[in-house]
Amino acid sequence: MTTPLPGQMMDVPLTVSSLLAHASRHFGTTEIVSKRVEGDVHRYTYRDCEKRAKQLAQGLIALGVEAGDRIGTLAWNGYRHLEIYYGTTGFGAVCHTINPRLFPEQIVYIVNHADDRYVMFDTTFAALVDALAPKCPNVRGWIALADDARLPRMTTPVMGYEALVRAEDGDFDWPLLDERLASYLCYTSGTTGNPKGALYSHRSTVLHAYAVSLPNASGLSARDCALPVVPMFHVNAWGIPHAAPLTGAKLVLPGKDLDGKSLYELMEAEHVTYSAGVPTVWLGLLNYMRETGLRLTSLKRTVIGGSACPPAMLSTFRDDYGVEAIHGWGMTEMSPLGTVARLNGEQAQRSPDEQRSLLEKQGHVIYGVDMKIVGNDGRELPWDGVAFGELYVRGPWIIDGYFRSDVSPLVDGWFPTGDVATIDRDGFMRITDRSKDLIKSGGEWISSIEIENQAVAHPAVAEAACIACAHPDWKERPLLVVVKRADAEVTREELLGFYQDKVARWWIPDDVVFVDELPHTATGKLNKLVLRERFRDHILPSACKVVN
């Protein structure tokens, strides 16, 4: 028997710092543009960014931060946040991004669970930090992302970020770290129970950045200008802060103002070609363009995910504005990207209807991720586009355990996502629901996402949520909760009639309720838990027995 033959290639670790070092050396003059909380627009280059990230690393080391220590962030998308991404992970510390939209008690839990050494925060979160600090005794210091002259008035003693950075010279070599060491810590913001931490490694972060950049995914290149609307505190802005330096794309960081007007103006001013975000923010941008009659002149592609993108939104981008809107799916536990709806050559030759129906799904896996759907008996279901079951995934940027938890979430080496899906013959996956959001009517499942997608296709509907409502005969029946477009009118009967011939008759909601606003989670998803609670005692007309 011959002995296995080792390859003779350099064993260069895949470190996060190598991404910024690459951009600094080979795309040194490419710009990073940030809308700051100070109110102005800041610009500098990848070379400047690396220098300051190194100064930050030196500053943190001088403060006694060691490899493995967690450094929390409460910050918008901006150049200082980017410097923290690299200035912490670059010497082996762990960058722990915290979602400031969570309830303060959840943030306290997260900071203490992560055992953060320091927390760096945008000055907009000064009051939040004052509320958190007394409950986070292990945090050694709170660092405001500001000049000393602009430090906010607070009860908590704080340090200034600029002073920390300016005290150092940036003469620092990124150490060659073991690629399996931890890089980032992101907590999932579940609506129930305590948040759980996904701890990425350098290797998983770099591999994910490669995969995200591929033409079948974002297709980012040095000719692109990328604006992540998805926050850097939500699963690392879907990897764009890593994919942009990897490809040499210009980076535009929008700060705290994510309304339609602010986004539109920034995209136009900076000639943004690529973006990514959740449907809710795109709703704001599309509404703004509809009201003003303005058009985007440079945007070519945008990835929409985080929750199901209504087909009507995909077609508005494509048909009305000439923007390729790409539906994607993933989750915090997956770094996050898993699937992207983009066609291969043969699929692009099919009829427009067939193409559309593929593009409306959550899509095909990107290399590195494998997926399957599993029935109640644990057996794999066929890829026929009809059978639906829980979606399982595996791959090198998918967690195999939660931070500081001994209980493995894996089943036979696969991660159960909690999403329910179909997979068709083309390998296109379609999310039917979160398993807890499915509606079970008379023992049969109804997809709430499908009902919502149909509702927002109605011209008078801005946003819709479909939830299960108790029913004496069917156990559960669908209730549709709708936000109307400003100045548009539609009645309950018209909306219910709109479903005729679009879904199976028994899928048509039993009632419609109009509201001014729908509740969203800290990551922009519909908060169905709150809705179910609010409509717990709602009596469906179909549930009232007629007594003569």
Residues 239/208, Cβ–Cβ less than 8 Å: yes
Site for ligand AMP in 520-539 (CB under 6 A): 523
Question: Does residue 362 touch ligand AMP according to CB under 6 A?
Answer: yes
Q: Is 273 a catalytic residue?
A: no
Among 202, 327, 364, 484, the residue binding ligand AMP under the rule CB under 6 A is 327
Question: Does residue 197 touch ligand AMP according to CB under 6 A?
Answer: no
| Segment interacting with ligand AMP (CB under 6 A) among 59-67, 307-315, 371-379, 501-509 | 307-315
Question: Does residue 235 touch ligand AMP according to CB under 6 A?
Answer: yes
Residue that the structure tokens 């509740």 belong to: 519
Q: Is 333 a catalytic residue?
A: yes
Shortest Cβ distance from residue 294 to ligand AMP (Å)?
A: 27
Instruction: Please identify, using beta-carbon distances, which residue of 90 and 306 lies nearer to ligand AMP.
Output: 306
Question: Does residue 48 touch ligand AMP according to CB under 6 A?
Answer: no
Annotated catalytic residue within 38, 45, 124, 188: 188
Shortest Cβ distance from residue 235 to ligand AMP (Å)?
A: 5
Question: Does residue 336 touch ligand AMP according to CB under 6 A?
Answer: yes
Residue that the structure tokens 């079948």 belong to: 216
Output phi, psi for 322, to 5 deg: 65, 25
Question: Does residue 73 touch ligand AMP according to CB under 6 A?
Answer: no
Among 306, 311, 478, 509, the residue binding ligand AMP under the rule CB under 6 A is 306
Q: Is 440 a catalytic residue?
A: yes
Question: Does residue 77 touch ligand AMP according to CB under 6 A?
Answer: no
Q: Is 350 exposed, middle or buried (0-12, 13-18, 19+ CB in 10 A)?
A: middle
Using CB under 6 A as the binding criterion, the count of chain residues that bind ligand AMP stands at: 18
Distances (CA, A) of 378 to 369, 373, 414: 20, 9, 12
Instruction: Please identify, using beta-carbon distances, which residue of 309 and 381 lies nearer to ligand AMP.
Output: 309
Question: Does residue 272 touch ligand AMP according to CB under 6 A?
Answer: no
Instruction: Please tell me the distance from the alpha carbon of residue 47 to that of residue 25, in angstroms, as a whole number.
Output: 7
Q: Where are the beta strands (DSSP E) in 154-299?
A: 158-160, 182-188, 196-201, 225-228, 250-253, 274-277
Question: Does residue 301 touch ligand AMP according to CB under 6 A?
Answer: no
Residues 281/229, Cβ–Cβ less than 8 Å: yes
Q: What angle do CA 201, 206, 208 make, to 5 degrees?
A: 95
Question: Does residue 280 touch ligand AMP according to CB under 6 A?
Answer: no
Cis peptide before 336 (omega within 30 of 0): yes
Question: Does residue 388 touch ligand AMP according to CB under 6 A?
Answer: no
Residue 132 structure tokens: 């958190």
> Who contacts 352 (Cβ-Cβ below 8 Å, separation ≥6)?
none
Cα 188 from chain centre: 11
Q: Is 422 a catalytic residue?
A: no
Instruction: Please tell me the distance from the alpha carbon of residue 503 to that of residue 508, in angstroms, as a whole number.
Output: 7
> Who contacts 351 (Cβ-Cβ below 8 Å, separation ≥6)?
none
Instruction: Please identify, using beta-carbon distances, which residue of 273 and 332 lies nearer to ligand AMP.
Output: 332
Annotated catalytic residue within 440, 475, 491, 494: 440
Site for ligand AMP in 424-443 (CB under 6 A): 431, 434
Strand order in the sheet with 429-434: 370-374, 389-394, 415-423, 429-434
Annotated catalytic residue within 333, 360, 450, 463: 333
Shortest Cβ distance from residue 419 to ligand AMP (Å)?
A: 5
Question: Does residue 332 touch ligand AMP according to CB under 6 A?
Answer: yes
Residues noted as catalytic: 188, 333, 440, 445
Where on the chain is the footprint of ligand AMP (CB under 6 A)?
188, 235, 305-309, 327, 329, 331-332, 336, 362, 417, 419, 431, 434, 523
